Structure 1
Amino acid sequence: MRRLDRWIGLPLCVLASLALRLSGLVPQRTFAPPRRVLYVALAEMGSIVLAAPAIRQCARTHGVMPTFVTLAQTRGVFDFLGGEFNREVCVLRTTSLTALCADLWSFCRRMRRGGIAVAVDLDPGSRFSALVTLLSGARRRSGFEGMAQPYRGSLYTHTVDCPLGRHMSENFAALVEAPFSEIESSTTTVVDLFIPAAASTQTAESGSVLHRLRQRIPYCDPGRRRIVLIHANRSDPVPQRRWPQQRYIELCQRMLAEWPDIFVLLIGAAAEENAATALCAEIDDSRCGSVAGLFSIGELPTLFALATILVSSDSGPAHFAAHAGLPVVALFGPETPQRYRPLGATVTLYAGLPCSPCLSAHNQRASSCRDPRCMQAIEVETVLGAMRDALAPAERAATA
């Protein structure tokens, strides 16, 4: 996708920009308040979670219903967020060029029949997402633009800078509000919303989640032991973000020795199941098991409700857990927590080496680094210390 975005997306953006200028398609002076807003959510799942507070607030402030277009591999995040995020979602398959073109054609017809007037591109660096935003037919289109962003033509009617030193939730707040700036005067303030995702379904689903958990690991009892979740992130397409596997092994062995009342669960996607099973075998403790691939993204809120804390590198599950109100210890290296820290009760560990951050929207998260010292610099003792601090309040309350 990166190569297609560069070699095909770039000339298409140039041609589309030229066509827009020649056709004179500019935003109308008079613009009625829209009823629906399209969010082009082709970014990583963690970024979509960071945009959620701004999208919710826009729906409340302007009385609009959100509609989403996303990739098949990120569809699950909308099940996780629930509510208005799961009402209308268009999915684009990338399994083949034929499937992608068919889905794009269906998407264009659906959007134009629905009369989408406002479209917001949540991806700060993809040319493909900019083109999808244009294809929606929306008269007002907002997207990120600036020195830190790659060239995407002049496809937006409203552009917002995406400063490297500002958290993405704040950048998304400005982006989402931009198309409404001339409709009414309002100020948007993003707050951390720690409402468990799909809370209304957690009670109904908890029995199913517990049943499958006990089927997979009969000796895991959340009622008797504190559950510590570990996401080793073995399937990350950006390997620079991974913490060394040996560190995870040492961390789990040391925490199991220090806290006799905990049970460690390794979580992850289905693609990580074999890696998680192998990691569990290396840890070699009866109080450690793997549930990688067992639960869907939409079921994660229920699993998080059973847990005490999550330890993960910078990844989607860290954002999911923080959004659901679970304490998180997040390990950052090639990207900065100043920009991508999960919202919520999160402790971020970041070495802050001179070469960090090396991943950005400008380079489409492609780095030549093959020796991520920024992740290697995070010691096991540092992670354990962060866990002790995060677990201390609950431990004091239990002994009071």
Structure 2
Amino acid sequence: MRWVDCCIGVPVCFLLSMFVSVERLFGLRKAKRCRPRKILFIELSEMGSTILAYSAMKKARELFNAQLYFMIFRENEKSIRLLDIIPKENVITIRSKSIFMFFIDTLSAIFRMRSKGIDTVVDLELFSRFTSILSFFSGARSISGFYRYDMEGLYRGNFQTHRVEYNPHYHISQNFMALVYALDSDINDIPLLKKEIKKDEIARAKIMPKKEDKLRLIRKLQKINPNIKLGSRIVLLNPNASQLLPIRKWPLQNFMQLAKKIMEMKDVFIVMPGTKEEWEDARAICDYVKDKRCIDFTGKTNLKELVDLCSISMILVTNDSGPAHFASLTDIRIVVLFGPETPKIYSPLSDNCECIYSGYACSPCVSAFNHRKTPCKDSKCLKAIKVEDVFRAVKKDL
């Protein structure tokens, strides 16, 4: 997809920019400050980023009292449904399983955007050409997106009406908020956004699972280990990371040793959630520990049940990946292991979170400026995080 975005996206963005420039030259396209009525947020590929964008969507609704829409890849759709901020009928999805599905759904998405009368697009993607092209074909009068200005590379056309400078020193949720505030700013201010966004402006989404949902989950766990119950001391381990960036994984051997140390504590259970494709690492940890209190729970939960599981557990230890952000919807203590990415930008929005980060000079090697593609094949920054340090962070709350 990166190849398509670069080799096809760049020339298409250039041609569309030339078209827009000609229209502007002849006065056929004039930038106007219009009050948004129907705002479409586009965030296709990162489920965790959907949680981080919650505050921006909430602010858009407060500022403009507009109808909100959201576009996302079909396989990530459940993340936006979880937040319950966008009506079901206002979610536009694109399948990415095959080129044919991708092409058909892209055409369908363009038709739906135009038929719904979308007048404003907030492009949350970091310098994606594809979403920039979608923004153009939406027919929206206003497009707010990240713009490169004088940065080398990262070209995605010049047809955004509200061009926001991406700030690598801001948390990503603050950057998303800047895209919304830009819609209410003078478009002649260059670069946008000329406004401070304080961290306390960022609203945190919360989900309060019902007791019957918690009990249903406990019954699922009891089928594997009858001794576990509501109120048990449960530690969640997530040794996996998205296939988009597997370089973010702390070594499996370290997770094994951590699990062994946790099992030395009396009456503590380890539960490892995940998709059914992620069973291998969980099974390896269980085989290493050889204790029935260590439970492979991969493939046993949907996204909503993952949040429910977090609500009945004490601690989650995870790589820098989606589960850290879904856990932030509850009050669970979160320990996140960062390496190729920086917690300064992508830490979960939780007051009960500890990020362990080695701070190597080469980190972050994954960023908006390289389309999150790193040359690193050996994440020594993660290997530098000691099992003892992670165990210390876990033990103090058990």
Count how many residue pairs are aligned between Structure 1 and Structure 2. Answer: 385
Give, in angstroms, the shift of residue 204 of structure 1.
5.2
Q: 1:187 & 1:338 partners in 2: Cα distance?
A: 17
Q: 2:85 & 2:177 partners in 1: Cα distance?
A: 20
- TM-score, normalised to structure 1, is 0.90
**Residues 27/67 of structure 1: CA separation in 2 closer, same or farther (3 Å cut):** farther
Computed over aligned residues only, the root mean square deviation of the Cα atoms, in angstroms, reads: 2.3
The 5 A counterparts of 1:326-337 are 326-337=332-343
**Is the CA contact (8 Å cut-off) linking 1:273 and 1:292 kept in structure 2?**
yes
Q: 1:233 aligns with which of 208, 229, 240?
A: 240
Q: 2:347 & 2:114 partners in 1: Cα distance?
A: 36
Give, in angstroms, the shift of residue 347 of structure 1.
0.4
- 2:110 pairs with 1:108: yes
* Structure 1 residue matching 2:156: 3-state secondary structure: coil
- 2:177 pairs with 1:173: yes
In structure 1, the residue matched to 2:121 is 119
**Is the CA contact (8 Å cut-off) linking 1:79 and 1:298 kept in structure 2?**
no
In structure 2, the residue matched to 1:196 is 206
Report the residue type matching 1:355 in the other structure: C
Give, in angstroms, the shift of residue 371 of structure 1.
1.1
Q: 1:232 & 1:349 partners in 2: Cα distance?
A: 15
Give, in angstroms, the shift of residue 304 of structure 1.
1.3
Q: 1:102 & 1:18 partners in 2: Cα distance?
A: 26
**Is the CA contact (8 Å cut-off) linking 1:228 and 1:264 kept in structure 2?**
yes
**Residues 30/54 of structure 1: CA separation in 2 closer, same or farther (3 Å cut):** closer
Larger helix percent: 1
In structure 1, the residue matched to 2:344 is 338
**Is the CA contact (8 Å cut-off) linking 2:343 and 2:355 kept in structure 1?**
yes
In structure 1, the residue matched to 2:371 is 364
Identity of aligned residues (%): 34
In structure 2, the residue matched to 1:398 is none
* Structure 2 residue matching 1:91: 3-state secondary structure: strand
Runs of 4+ in structure 1 displaced over 6 angstroms? 185-188
Q: 2:87 & 2:367 partners in 1: Cα distance?
A: 26
* Structure 1 residue matching 2:167: 3-state secondary structure: coil
Q: 1:351 aligns with which of 355, 358, 369?
A: 358
* Structure 2 residue matching 1:79: 3-state secondary structure: helix
Q: 2:324 aligns with which of 306, 311, 318?
A: 318
* Structure 2 residue matching 1:358: 3-state secondary structure: coil
Q: 2:88 & 2:286 partners in 1: Cα distance?
A: 34
**Residues 220/370 of structure 1: CA separation in 2 closer, same or farther (3 Å cut):** farther
5+ residue gaps, structure 1, are 396-400
Give, in angstroms, the shift of residue 107 of structure 1.
1.4
Q: 1:129 & 1:149 partners in 2: Cα distance?
A: 17
**Residues 290/79 of structure 1: CA separation in 2 closer, same or farther (3 Å cut):** farther
**Residues 38/243 of structure 1: CA separation in 2 closer, same or farther (3 Å cut):** same
Q: 1:52 aligns with which of 33, 51, 54?
A: 54
In structure 1, the residue matched to 2:267 is 261
**Residues 231/73 of structure 1: CA separation in 2 closer, same or farther (3 Å cut):** same
* Structure 2 residue matching 1:230: 3-state secondary structure: strand
**Is the CA contact (8 Å cut-off) linking 1:92 and 1:104 kept in structure 2?**
yes
Q: 1:323 & 1:85 partners in 2: Cα distance?
A: 19
**Residues 83/348 of structure 1: CA separation in 2 closer, same or farther (3 Å cut):** same
The 5 A counterparts of 1:251-330 are 251-257=258-264, 259-330=265-336
Report the residue type matching 2:144 in the other structure: S
**Residues 340/27 of structure 1: CA separation in 2 closer, same or farther (3 Å cut):** farther
Give, in angstroms, the shift of residue 235 of structure 1.
4.8
**Is the CA contact (8 Å cut-off) linking 1:112 and 1:136 kept in structure 2?**
yes
Q: 1:235 & 1:153 partners in 2: Cα distance?
A: 29
- TM-score, normalised to structure 2, is 0.90
5+ residue gaps, structure 2, are 188-193
Give, in angstroms, the shift of residue 285 of structure 1.
1.4
Give, in angstroms, the shift of residue 69 of structure 1.
0.6
Q: 1:182 & 1:161 partners in 2: Cα distance?
A: 14
CA shift digits 1:29-79 (9 cap, x unpaired)? 352x22221001114112221111121122123212220010122112113
Give, in angstroms, the shift of residue 328 of structure 1.
0.5
